[in-house]
Amino acid sequence: MDSLMQLFYDEANEMVEGMEQVLLALESSEPDPETVNALFRYAHSFKGNSAAMGFTHLSKFTHGLESAMETLRKEQRTLTPALATLLLQAVDVIRTLLERTRTEGDVGDPACETLLQQINAVINGETPQPIDAPSAPASAKPAECAAAHGTPQYRIFYQPAPTLSAEHNPLQLLSELQEYGQVLQCRFREQIPPLEQLKIDACYGTWEILYETAFEPAIVRALLELAAEGAETRIEPVSAPSAEATQQTPTRTAEEATPLSSTVSASGETPVTATVSVASRGEAQSIRVSTEKIDALMNLVSEIVIAQSMLSSAQNANTDERTRAAITQMERHVRDLHERVMAIRLLPVSYLFNRFPRMVRDTAAKLGKKVNLEVEGEETELDRTLLEALSDPLTHLIRNAIDHGIEPPDERRQNGKPETGTIKLSAYQSEGRIYIEVRDDGRGIDTKRVREKAIQLGWITEHDHPSEEALYDFLFQPGFSTAQQVSDLSGRGVGMDVVKRNVESLGGSISVQSKRGEGTRFLLRVPLTLAIMDGLGLTVADEHYIVPLTAVVEAFQHESLQHTALFDQYEMVNVRGEFIPLVRLRQFVGLPEADQEGLIVVLEQEGEQIALMVDGIAGQQQVVLKSLEENFVRVLGFAGATILGDGRVALILDVSDLIRRGRQSAERYAAVA
Amino acid sequence: MQVSLKTTAKKHKVTLNGEIGFAETTALYETAQQIVQNPKETQIDWSNLTAIHYAGVQVLFALRKSLEERGYRMLFTEPNPQLYQHLHTFGVWDALIQS
């Protein structure tokens, strides 16, 4: 793709995202003329750019939208929920068409005209809400819009969840559609690679279906999205069943059929900008760089860090003063280079958080709930790879909060709460880590039910009374769900374990706090970056280990009087009157005890401390993290590995895991004491 | 056995029986890999196949593409009518057979 075209797509995607953000902002606050103007400007610029690139269908559709927005702007019409829904659908259509242009060129969609008619009709107050109103809860009743034209028809764009399993079979889900209506026309778009590149559990197909049903679209969506997380279903009403459509039979081939649009992105990775551009193009002081280039640069910097570390450790007593000075200078420059490249990779979390207002809106509407999403700390920056990896866990947590946490409006009213529930999504940086919090003011976790469920599953007995924290831990076990009904959103007992696994695979952790009737708070902690960190080298016998420097509190020579042991097993160290659990690194890695006492290194994470006994300290150094999981398997107690300056491999200790082990000592000690 | 492979000097014949669920897809995938390693014209006999998981369908698509890249055809026997109806309704039959 030439650079001009790439620039067009980069800008177009930003405009589409901008339109969506503005619509969501308009819906949730008092109409502000400047915000309406911003919406108009996005549509206007998008139209012009599309026309310039020869995408006449896109340009024509956006022109229609621009005219509708002009009416909205000039006549100061209110953005009703129905109109917001239609305009958001229009944004979806633009997004889909935009992706299709990558492979199909100047492509249109018959749905555009219908959608524009509906938008204009609603703006002019000519017809009632033509589609499922966002406040309507899902119920298995015939849709009201059936009356005028017989059974309503819908255009369904279905992209199954990306992973296939025994339970997730898109063909089976599609066949269930036939029990609720009639498939009039279906187009299957396969993107299946040759066998050599095929992943057996990856799903490569999408479907576009002309479907006739007397049931609510929410039922159709639930059917298609029930089996697995991550499916994308878009259902657009077709205003009246056309004679052509009803006469078409499924026997038509893809080539003969009226072209239907697709929700699939044909090309691979969507480029992201290296810097965040601002809405006004004139103010932007940035250039666009592909992520591949940044990743290549980052890898190169990682190698330079290793080479520089090798050079530093090659110094000895015979190294002359000039060489020493040059090495010191180089160390400084490499550190600076690393920080600057890291900064390029960092993106504000708004890049991720911006996806959620729409999801919250749609999910809440689907469940008949009222939810307000508050976002805080959007400017907090995080490595792009981490941001992308956090998308699924956060999506799951937010969906869970809406589905299980926030109560329906009448229940909230009865409990003296405002009808509209609040989910607060916030991000902040502290102690070299990023914290992301998902907090809701819903009903909270019912620990009594969690305990009952754990007994039912045979995980504990009737006589066991685990602590609140231990009960919350059950939530993250595979197969655990207290949801009384399985919904298409959550409650299937899959998900929270995956959330935990995903966060831990990023070197992070997750914890939960909850108060019955008041809400729940999930706290995710992740490192700033996965690539390079400042570490402290520790030695036992001839082996080197690394701990993150941010976790190190202090180090001192161990004296036998300072420590006390319980059953010769659970040891604590007295540090200025405070007892800290002790872990002997030799014991931890399976080496025999040393003849003489070693050093104690106190490590801290999230307010908890652990004393680690080691033979010696090898000094501070920058290390490049290499994943054990990617190259070997996940090993408990170790967060990864690195290559030292002398070429040897050192394992990086997982401080969270050490603290977890230390906590057992502390609990045992406290129980006996 | 749901998946079996017979090979002659000129062609491979894969016979699919009963139901190919997600668990059985691995066997089909391994069979397809064997075929690609020794590519020849391949016939898929699915006349006794009653149902197939979409993962299995994807393996057939992928095998056809790999064979075609090497200049070989993949042919199908007439399927069980119910299976045909199922694949046909959702566009998979047309894509697999005619494209």
Chain B residues with CB-CB distance to A under 8 A? Answer: 21-23, 25-26, 29, 32-33, 36, 52-55, 57-59, 61-63, 65-66, 69, 86-92, 94-95, 98-99
**Residues A319 and A358 grouped into a single domain:** no
**Residues A250 and A387 grouped into a single domain:** no
Residue type, position A552, single letter: V
Whether B62 sits inside 8 A of A205 (CB atoms) is: no
Per-residue pLDDT reduced to its tens digit, A128-147: 333 333 333 333 333 333 33
Whole-number percent of chain A with pLDDT over 90: 14
State how far the Cα of A485 lies from the Cα of A150, in Å rounded to an integer.
Answer: 33
Whether B33 sits inside 8 A of A166 (CB atoms) is: no
**Residues A371 and A517 grouped into a single domain:** yes
pLDDT of res. A480: 74
Beta strands in A552-648 (DSSP E): 552-557, 563-566, 570-575, 578-584, 599-605, 608-614, 616-624, 638-643
**Residues A232 and A339 grouped into a single domain:** no
Residue A399, pLDDT above cutoff 60: yes
CA neighbor of A219 nearest in space, from A188, A181, A186, A184 = A181
pLDDT of res. A530: 64
How confident is the prediction along chain B (99 residues), in pLDDT tens digits per residue?
Answer: 789 999 998 899 999 999 999 999 999 999 999 999 999 999 999 989 999 999 999 999 999 999 999 999 898 888 888 888 889 889 898 888 755
DSSP string, A376-432: E-TT-EEEHHHHHHHHHHHHHHHHHIIIIISPPHHHHHHTT--SSEEEEEEEEEETT
Domain total of chain A:
5
Whether B92 sits inside 8 A of A165 (CB atoms) is: no
Residue A492, pLDDT above cutoff 50: no
Residue A241, pLDDT above cutoff 50: no
Per-residue pLDDT reduced to its tens digit, A521-562: 999 988 776 666 778 999 998 899 999 887 889 988 877 556
Where would I find the H helices in A79-232? 81-104, 111-123, 146-149, 170-177, 217-225
Q: Residues near A114 by Cβ (< 8 Å), separated by ≥ 6?
A: A236, A237, A238, A239
Is A550 strand, coil or helix?
Answer: helix
CA neighbor of A200 nearest in space, from B42, B98, B54, B64 = B54
pLDDT of res. A424: 95
Whether B62 sits inside 8 A of A166 (CB atoms) is: no
pLDDT of res. A491: 41
Report the CATH fold assignment for B3-98.
Transcription Regulator spoIIAA (3.30.750)
Which among A64, A98, A130 is the end of a domain?
A130
pLDDT of res. A441: 94
Residue A276 lies in a domain: no
Q: Between B22, B57, B61, which is nearest A165 by CB?
A: B22
**Residues A410 and A494 grouped into a single domain:** yes
Dihedrals φ, ψ of A137, to 5°? -70, 155
Whether A164 sits inside 8 A of B22 (CB atoms) is: yes
State how far the Cα of A567 lies from the Cα of A659, in Å rounded to an integer.
Answer: 20
**Residues A439 and A537 grouped into a single domain:** no
Q: What is the mean pLDDT of chain A?
A: 77
The label of the residue with tokens 């910097």 reads: A301
Which among A527, A560, A580 is the end of a domain?
A527
DSSP string, A565-593: EETTTEEEEEETTEEEEEEEHHHHTTPPP
Mode of pairing for the β-strands spanning A608-614 and A578-584: parallel
**Residues A385 and A509 grouped into a single domain:** yes
Residue type, position A199, single letter: K
pLDDT of res. A487: 44
Residue A642 lies in a domain: yes
Q: Between A164, A186, A198, which is nearest B89 by CB?
A: A186
CA neighbor of A422 nearest in space, from A520, A355, A351 = A520
Whether A195 sits inside 8 A of B92 (CB atoms) is: no
Is A350 strand, coil or helix?
Answer: helix
Q: Which domain does A303 fall in, by range?
A: 292-347
